[in-house]
Amino acid sequence: MKIKAFAFDMDGTLLLPDSSGPHPETMKALKEAHEAGYKIILATGRPIYQTKATASSIGFVSYIVGNNGASLYNLKAEKNISTNFLTEELFQTMVKIGEETKSFFVMSTTENVYKLNFYDGTNVPEWVTMSVNDFGEPDKREDVEKAARTEKITQLTIKNDKELILEKHTELKAKWNEKVSMHIANEVYLDVNPLGASKLTGIETVLKNDGIDVSEVMTFGDSGNDIQMIEGAGYGIAMSNATEGAKAVADEIIGHHSTDTIAVKLREVIKSQSK
């Protein structure tokens, strides 16, 4: 098996704990991989707009697989190449769940990201504050509802504490298993995507034009929404800080995302395949 592309989850994997960017050595190793002819892909639960800055800082990312594979972006062509979307009816259902559970709600479309905060308590938990810091202030409900009618929806998300998210994932998976794809990201996000969408299917789709099979891809991840790409790629790697589920399906477990462990692995692959 010859590796021709590297795909990276962002939070908890490629990015340092403060989300400022990759480790300096990893940045150098990514450049070395690019110069050696490898394709670089960012595969994340984040929407495209929250990923472009990192892609630009790296400078030679070929594709963004955003929203857990529901939103696909070709950086060279500057074009969103997504094809499957969620319905307005499902949006209304997820908004209702967000209200009932007092969650932070996020809708991603091919054009933008919209937020609603249904938490109404006086003692605001940390996850609500972090949501506002990550996504910005909530939008007006009428604006979000208009966007749901007029734009193409790629992901619907609720954020809450991990116990509630796990409970809702179990409940909705039993109810919607044949209608949508669902992923838990970083324990506190429940992401709903079009049926069949995953980071793995997104990677497969974007690399078709380059004639690269998923068996020729090395993936790096740490969370529940990385499991399919870790297990399904040619070689899947989990970080030492990964969930037990991600570690269980990995071909290899490397160091913590706060270190240069990804750089070490990239250079190992480049060196072994250049002989």
Tokens standing for residue 104: 């932070």
Q: What is the CATH number of the domain that holds 59?
A: 3.40.50.1000
94 plus 185 within the same structural domain = yes
94 plus 115 within the same structural domain = yes
187 plus 103 within the same structural domain = yes
pLDDT digits (tens, 9 = 90+) for 221-242: 999 999 999 999 999 999 999 9
Look up the domain containing 70 and give its range.
Answer: 5-83+197-274
Pairing mode, strands 153-159 and 189-194: antiparallel
110 plus 187 within the same structural domain = yes
Assign 191 to helix, strand or coil: strand
* Last residue within a domain, chosen from 161, 194, 227: 194
Domain count, the chain: 2
* Last residue within a domain, chosen from 147, 171, 194: 194
Task: Produce one character per residue of 108-134: b if its CB has 16 or more CB atoms within 10 Å, e if not.
Answer: bbbeebbbbbbbeeeeeeebbeebeee
42 plus 67 within the same structural domain = yes
CA neighbor of 153 nearest in space, from 193, 209, 105, 201: 193
40 plus 79 within the same structural domain = yes
Q: Tokens 């078709």 appear where? A: 208
The chain-wide mean pLDDT, for the chain, equals 92
61 plus 135 within the same structural domain = no
Look up the pTM and report it.
Answer: 0.86
188 plus 209 within the same structural domain = no
Q: What is the CATH number of the domain that holds 123?
A: 3.30.1240.10
73 plus 118 within the same structural domain = no
pLDDT digits (tens, 9 = 90+) for 243-263: 999 999 999 999 999 999 999
**Sign of the alpha-carbon torsion through 119, 98, 241, 42:** negative
Quote the percentage of the chain above a pLDDT of 90: 80
Supply the pLDDT for residue 124. Answer: 57
* Last residue within a domain, chosen from 156, 179, 194: 194
Crossing angle, helix 141-150 and helix 88-100, to 10 degrees?
Answer: 150
181 plus 98 within the same structural domain = yes
- Count the Cβ atoms, other than its own, within 10 Å of residue 143: 12
Residue 243 dihedral angles phi and psi, to the nearest 5°: -65, 160
201 plus 180 within the same structural domain = no
Supply the pLDDT for residue 1. Answer: 77
213 plus 162 within the same structural domain = no
Tokens standing for residue 264: 């070490």
pLDDT digits (tens, 9 = 90+) for 128-166: 555 445 666 789 999 999 999 999 999 999 999 889 999
